[in-house]
Structure 1
Amino acid sequence: MEQKRAYVIGHIRVKDPVSWAEYCSKVPGTVAPWGASLVFRADGAQVLSGEHAYTDTVVISFPDLASVKAWHESADYQAIVPLRQKAADVVIISYEAQA
């Protein structure tokens, strides 16, 4: 059976731009061992319908959900979580692609 790609989507409201820039500079080194790649990062969200309290979004592609879980629980990523929490309010969601 073919593995389905998985995606991590982060919805972000930056509180401390300097700390956020530092956190963002450290994330790529934590996802690389899991075969992940940045799909896009954007700010200035334009809400077309409903309410959305976040201004920035990031989407990261992983080979599968197991890789997402391994990355998120890894010592390297967990080491920068306090920096993320200081820098921004973030909601992180993972999805398995259906197609």
Structure 2
Amino acid sequence: MTQNLKAYAIANLRAVRMGPHIVEYLERIDATLVPYGGRFIVHGATPELVEGAWDGTPIVVEFPDVEHLRAWYDSPAYHAILPLRTRNSDGDVIIVEGVDDTHKATDILD
């Protein structure tokens, strides 16, 4: 039996131009997440740099699985507000699947 693994939308936003469009995006995004079980687990925190270089604000949104995440990202509700962010900030966004509770670092060697 395969286990659905949680999935994460991870963003590193830079040069956010705070204004009415970003405010509207922030006011509307939570409602787009609800139907897909999405929730912020990191949002707006100032990262503590311990290695390398980092320029931006990390954002992590957790979903029950990658199918829910992709359905949210592709949804009409999210696409209606997406330009409010992309036109008013620079950044990178990735989708990544998590691991199960039994995962060990050496599992990637198999």
TM-score band w.r.t. shorter chain: 0.7 to 0.9
Query: Residue by residue, what CA displacement relative to the aligned partner does 1:63-93 show, whole Å, maximum 9, x if unpaired?
Result: 1001111111111111111111122112111
Find 2:44's aligned residue among 27, 42, 45: 42
User: Percent identity over the alignment?
Assistant: 27
Unaligned runs of at least 5 residues, structure 1: none
Q: How far, CA to CA, are the matches of 1:67 and 1:22 in structure 2?
A: 24
For 1:8, the equivalent position in structure 2 comes to 9
TM-score by length of 2: 0.78
State the aligned residue count.
98
1:20 aligned partner: 22
Distance in 1, Cα, partners of 2:22 & 2:89: 7
- Whichever of the two has the greater Rg, that structure is 2
> Which of 38, 43, 55 is 1:53 aligned to?
55
Q: Normalising by structure 1, report the TM-score.
A: 0.86
Contact kept? 1:36, 1:60, Cα under 8 Å: yes
SS in 2 for 1:38: strand
| Distance in 2 between residues matched to 1:20 and 1:49, nearest whole Å | 30
Q: Which residue of 2 aligns with 1:29?
A: 31
Give the secondary-structure state (helix, strand or coil) at the position aligned to 1:87.
coil
Q: CA RMSD in A?
A: 1.5
